Structure 1
Amino acid sequence: MQITHLGHSAVLVEVADRRILFDPGNFSDRWHGVTDLDAIVVTHLHPDHIDPQHVGALLADNPDAAVWVEPGVLNAVDLGGRAQGIAADTSVELGGVRIDAVGGLHAVIHRDIPRIGNVGLVVTAAGEPTFFHPGDSLEAIPAGVDVVGIPMMGPWAAMKEHVDFLRALNAPHGFGIHDALLSERGWGLAFGRYNEMTPTTVQDLRASQPWTPAS
């Protein structure tokens, strides 16, 4: 498995000869122009996870890619009829790769803001580490996760909730995502706390260098 963080929540996972892009949102442009994708998968409809302005070009650049999105995205973003819904507690297959959707709801931002759908996505392939992209929720704790994309900061959670999430998940490896709202000092604070206070060794992949996690 090789992982490249392409800014905020956008993550390219290369596993079992498949290239899968998660959450190409509008808080980053490093995923623009990515080609040769086998799948594009989206956790929820917020534009920092799927960019309505530029996703059309991404689809055009990857005409053969499967597109799976949390069902609420289907009515919110024009995907040219390419996408299929992936609801919580369902799964899809891509060659030797399985993607399981877990959870179902976005974290509470405020009691006055209606909750939307959110699926965490668990990627497994024989002989490879298991990867988890939680989207914008810390509620689902799937078993057997080896590598987690860690939301470093969101307006829907406090640091204590992130620490408890990582302790419960008990994944040995992780890297920071959902970090576009953080200053350099804020990022460093979260990075240090999550490394010090949880069982997860957190990597800094902000330079978008490909990373191969230990098996």
Structure 2
Amino acid sequence: MTFTKKSHACVRLEKDGRTLVVDPGGFSEEDAALGADAILVTHEHPDHFDEDRLRTAMEARPGTEIWTLKSVADRISAAFPGRVHTVGHGDTFTAAGFDVQVHGELHAVIHPDIPRITNVGYLVDGTVFHPGDALTVPDHPVETLMLPVMAPWNKISEVIDYVREVKPQRAYDIHDALLTDLARPIYDNQIGALGGAEHLRLTPGESADL
């Protein structure tokens, strides 16, 4: 499987000539979802879900399908009958040849005064986990963790403890559009030294074999 980092929380996974894209939101490239055979969306916040990007990808490729939670599916399913699938915690499905398990139910707390929305994470092929906007720990070993390093709802101590709890072999930074270049060495050093897993960072467009 090949992993390509896109901007912010978006990732592309490729295997056997097929492509799975997770969270091609408004902070990612405009063409982040184009060419995907399957798209997964973790929740409706605009940095993870951009309706125009999804519509463009679905219209450009009639075979593309989306798996997501109800709040997102309700906004786009009518335009693409039979191609948008609603999922929730505990569900399993196959998307473009990738086996996917759904983990988690709620977005992380941003502030007690802000109501929490739903959020799901996706474990792909039993090895790669993208948690969306939550620090969900799957009840399954994880080889590669997509690690949300900078958000209004987390701090670095929580990020480090999350890596420790999940215990992946490696963790790649995602959700990093708000992280300045000045701060990146601090995050790299502290997560790498304290997380207990190999900590890696790709620039948008870079790829790695998993």
How many aligned positions are there?
208
Corresponding residue of 2:34: 34
Structure 1 residue 15: Cα displacement: 2.8
Structure 1 unmatched runs, 5+: none
Identity %: 31
Corresponding residue of 1:169: 166
Corresponding residue of 2:45: 46
Structure 1 residue 24: Cα displacement: 0.3
Code of the aligned partner of 1:121: Y
TM-score, structure 2 normalization: 0.91
- After TM superposition, the structure 1 = structure 2 runs for residues 75-154 of structure 1, keeping only pairs within 5 Å, are 75-76=74-75, 80-81=79-80, 82-94=83-95, 96-124=97-125, 130-154=127-151
Alpha-carbon separation, structure 2, partners of 1:139 and 1:62: 32
Structure 2 unmatched runs, 5+: none
Deviates more, 1:100-109 or 1:178-187: 178-187
- Note if contact 1:106-1:116 (Cα within 8 Å) is conserved in structure 2: yes
Structure 1 residue 152: Cα displacement: 1.2
Code of the aligned partner of 1:52: E
Corresponding residue of 2:185: 188
Code of the aligned partner of 1:177: I
Give the SS at the match of 2:136. Answer: coil
Alpha-carbon separation, structure 2, partners of 1:96 and 1:78: 22
Structure 1 residue 80: Cα displacement: 1.9
Alpha-carbon separation, structure 1, partners of 2:96 and 2:38: 11
Alpha-carbon separation, structure 2, partners of 1:155 and 1:179: 11
Alpha-carbon separation, structure 2, partners of 1:152 and 1:25: 17
Structure 1 residue 192: Cα displacement: 1.8
Alpha-carbon separation, structure 2, partners of 1:31 and 1:150: 23
Structure 1 residue 44: Cα displacement: 0.5
TM-score, structure 1 normalization: 0.89
RMSD: 1.8
Give the SS at the match of 2:19. Answer: strand
Alpha-carbon separation, structure 1, partners of 2:162 and 2:128: 15
Give the SS at the match of 2:52. Answer: coil
Code of the aligned partner of 2:66: V
